[in-house]
C-alpha cells in the first residue's frame, strides 16, 4: 500500500504496539501535524518513558505538514459542531487537513467511525 494518509495518534500508537490490523498501512506515506506529534510524544512518555518517546518524535517529525489559519478555523468549527463527540483538537485538525489534501484520515477513534473521508481501523 503506497497511499497517503493523515495518521492520527491512535494509528501511530497502534503501529508502534504492533497491531496487525495496521500492518497494511506501514508502507503508506504518512502525513501528520505538529499537534499529532505532540500527542504521540506525550502518550509515548506515559507508555514507554522519555527515551523511547523522543525516538518516536525523531522518527515521525519528518512527516509533519504545516497547517494554516483556514485549517484551524475549519477544524475548530468542525469540533464545535460535533461537541457531543468530545473529539480532540489534534484529531479535528488532522481530519480537516486530510479533507483539504483529499486523502483519508487513518484512525481507530470511535468518534470518527462513520464520517466521510475516514479509514477506520481497530
Question: In the chain, how many domains are there?
Answer: 1
User: C-alpha 93: how far from its chain's center?
Assistant: 9
Q: What's 14's domain CATH number? A: 3.40.50.1010
What is the pLDDT confidence band of residue 2, given thresholds at 50, 70 and 90? low
**pLDDT at 50 > cutoff 80:** yes
**pLDDT at 14 > cutoff 70:** yes
Q: Count Cβ neighbours within 10 Å for each residue of 78-109 and write b for 16 or more, e otherwise.
A: bbeeeeeeebbebbbbbbbbbbbbebbbbbbb
**pLDDT at 73 > cutoff 60:** yes
Give the mean pLDDT of 51-73.
98
- Domain extent for 109: 4-120
Distance separating alpha carbons of residues 121 and 97, to the nearest angstrom? 19
**pLDDT at 15 > cutoff 90:** yes
Amino acid at each position: 500500500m503506497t497511499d497517503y494518509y493523515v495518521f492520527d495518534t491512535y494509528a501511530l500508537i497502534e503501529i508502534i504496539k504492533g497491531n496487525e490490523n495496521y500492518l497494511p498501512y506501514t508502507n503508506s506515506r504518512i502525513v501528520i501535524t505538529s499537534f499529532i506529534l505532540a500527542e504521540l510524544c506525550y502518550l509515548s512518555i506515559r507508555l514507554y518513558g522519555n527515551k523511547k518517546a523522543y525516538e518516536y518524535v525523531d522518527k515521525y517529525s519528518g512527516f509533519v505538514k504545516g497547517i494554516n489559519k483556514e485549517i484551524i478555523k475549519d477544524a475548530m468549527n468542525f469540533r464545535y459542531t460535533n461537541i457531543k463527540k468530545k473529539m480532540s483538537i489534534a484529531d479535528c485538525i488532522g481530519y480537516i487537513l486530510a479533507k483539504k489534501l483529499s486523502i483519508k484520515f487513518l484512525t481507530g477513534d470511535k468518534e470518527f467511525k462513520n464520517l466521510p473521508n475516514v479509514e477506520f481501523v481497530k
